[in-house]
Chain A
């Protein structure tokens, strides 16, 4: 289903659309206040962007440096070419230990790889321990946002869900009560788990350590108890030095939720005593993305979600309308960049307002990348024929001033003389909710000629 069709379905519920827009806009406002509390904000953005660009230019070296240092710290490093390889590595590690139950803190990468259904098929129970992710998991859904996975779910709906699945009181909506219930439910799962899976926000080449940012402390708990810790990361997550980390930590939480920093920034330098620690470096299309000059910078992304929160289209169409793990502007870049046929409508789910590029803490020129992806969609002949031919026709007319003038005159006359029911026919997408412009009797060029005609001229 195209984004436009899915968005239209979402928008049909006007009240819900307004609620969603306001809930997400609220986060954008919090981000604005947090950003404005730092006078050096724009310098930080520029610095972060340059660190990322530098890292990408020597990615192979930094990844190998990370591997050496992580290994020295006692972790085992694995390399996965794609999602299948990643999932197979995880399964093998779990099978070696005979693990049947795992807990997982938030990781968009494992979502991208479809790890949960893969492990479940192999008879392994996977519990998401991030509250938002647990909610969508219990609802049998995917996250609709990369930082706020359940932003599309209302409190009342969480109450009903928890009543059904966790046995809370019917009709309960108080956040404290529901959170407490989830805490007890998750605590049991955490205690029983044989392995803890996490994502990675930053991997530091210099030290071989990884950093995971959470607000719930679930990554700490999920890795502190079980005997195995498996951390999955995209290869773009590496940064060169420990001193660079501060730049990103200052940007990440402020951009994501407007907090000065996440409640927990958990550093892992090798396994604790008696534990195994594995780090899986996943490519899954990233090195391909690096070869394209106009798209490379999208690998700067630190998954803060600020572009989603600011996007006027995302706010009014909901994350699920993108039919992709990562929705919003950044999702509309990385998904079609990897699989243009499947995600061909996403670069067009954008009014090119440019707010995403200005909000991005690592200065990805998102709206220009979306524009350049539109060209790639056309090159691969994936643009719907109606659009393709209307553009060809328009260009044919606009190349010829005389034809443009005649047709312009015709259009103005039709606007003036055609009855309303003919003008506002089902084919007129403009006119379903909007009136057409009031027809001017003269074009500007005619009016300008008349204005400059001296008295007595013909």
Chain B
């Protein structure tokens, strides 16, 4: 399996450890991972602001870079949803789009649907609050949203459930939005932060030691709020947990925000 790794711009700049965990995980399942260096951003911030003309060249550039790969995988439901669900508004006329959209996957769904992984094995003896990132949930259907009537399923928690010792805490609101929302986080700062603080309070009442999500952008927002509140909770991308990282490891030379200890330690 030849995978073109699509690393969202903010992960490239601020969360290299999430990218590295993604590579480790993909290689563990036999993928050959290449990172095309010309990539920057899929254009989502511009497209979500309505500036389609500004986003268009970035979508085109994405197709230039990734159409050659067998698969394109990213550790972000939001950026993958941009490619699969919204590129047609930008580059719908490009004959390469259909092919690229069909082979672009979010990391967890790539593991469950393409590689055929049932569960990932490893140790993670912590109480985990799983934050359902909206675009993964409702655009890509990585799980069954709470609004929909039907058999429950969740590709993210399914993979995590194989980790020995993991204990999912019960949230009062299983998939309420955290309020990041891209430029919404700044344009509607008051609402955005209120939403995020409410999510944090839910994870706190549930007793989460680690808040995990398959989208780092939600975690950047929740983590920023948690650090300001000095809330003792670790923030981890699902890829890091699956790749065997520990919340006690420092990140980028500094302690992980709100460092926590396992019950056994």
Contact = CB atoms under 8 A, between A and B. Distances in A.
Interface string B49-64: 1111011011001000
A434 B38 CA distance: 31
Contacts of A437: 10, 14-15, 220, 223-224
Given A398-B41, A440-B15, A442-B16, A357 B138 contact: yes
Contacts of B48: 352, 371, 374
Contacts of A440: 13-17, 251-252
A193 interface: no
Given A433-B193, A435-B228, A348 B187 contact: yes
B147 A411 contact: no
B181 interface: yes
Contacts of B252: 438-441
B16 A41 contact: no
A444 B19 contact: yes
A11 interface: yes
Given A3-B188, A316-B195, A444-B20, A399 B35 contact: no
Interface string A378-395: 100001000110011011
Interface stretch (A30-38, A124-132, A266-274): A30-38
Nearest to B229: A433
Contacts of A451: 20, 23
B53 to A, nearest CB: 8
Interface in B147-174: 147-150, 173
Given A4-B189, A312-B195, A358-B148, A392 B224 contact: no
Interface string A421-436: 0000000011011111
Contacts of A55: none
A152 B18 CA distance: 43
B179 A399 contact: no
Interface in A92-126: none
B102 interface: no
B138 A353 contact: yes
A444 B224 contact: no
Contact of B147 (A359, A378, A430): A359
A312 B220 contact: no
A435 B191 CA distance: 17
B190 A4 contact: yes
A365 to B, nearest CB: 11
A383 B50 contact: yes
A377 interface: yes
Interface string A11-37: 110000100010001000000100110
Nearest to A373: B50
Interface in A136-187: none
B145 A444 contact: no
A398 B228 contact: no
Interface in B242-265: 251-254, 257
A215 interface: no
Contact of A436 (B15, B18, B37, B224): B224
A11 B257 CA distance: 27
B221 interface: yes
A391 B45 contact: yes
A358 B177 CA distance: 13
Interface residues of A, number: 75
A395 B13 contact: no
B176 A312 contact: yes
A434 B14 contact: no
Contacts of A310: 147
B55 A430 contact: no
A42 interface: yes
Nearest to B46: A391
B147 A351 contact: no
A349 interface: yes
Interface string A32-64: 100110110110000000000000000000000
Nearest to A412: B13
A355 B147 contact: yes
A446 B185 CA distance: 29
A429 to B, nearest CB: 4
Nearest to A317: B191
Given A358-B138, A383-B49, A4 B191 contact: yes
A375 B15 contact: no
Contacts of B50: 347, 371, 373-378, 383
Contact of A444 (B16, B43, B61, B225): B16
The residue in A25, A372, A438 that gathers the most chain B C-beta atoms within 10 A of its C-beta is: A438
A174 to B, nearest CB: 29
A352 B119 CA distance: 30
The residue in A317, A372, A401, A441 that gathers the most chain B C-beta atoms within 10 A of its C-beta is: A401
Given A394-B46, A440-B13, A7 B190 contact: yes
Given A392-B54, A442-B16, A316 B191 contact: yes
A395 B194 contact: no
Given A348-B184, A445-B35, A451-B20, A398 B40 contact: yes
Contact of A41 (B149, B194, B196): B149
Contacts of B17: 440
20 contacts: A8-B191, A11-B191, A11-B194, A17-B194, A32-B147, A38-B149, A310-B147, A350-B181, A351-B192, A354-B138, A371-B47, A395-B55, A398-B43, A401-B38, A429-B185, A432-B189, A434-B225, A435-B227, A438-B257, A444-B7
Q: Which 4 A-B pairs have the closest CB atoms?
A: A351-B181, A374-B50, A434-B224, A353-B177
Given A7-B190, A440-B14, 10 more contacts: A7-B191, A35-B149, A353-B177, A354-B145, A355-B145, A378-B50, A387-B49, A395-B58, A429-B186, A434-B228
Interface of A: 3-4, 7-8, 11-12, 17, 21, 25, 32, 35-36, 38-39, 41-42, 310, 312-313, 316-317, 347-355, 357-359, 371-378, 383, 387-388, 391-392, 394-395, 398-399, 401, 404, 408, 411-412, 429-430, 432-448, 451
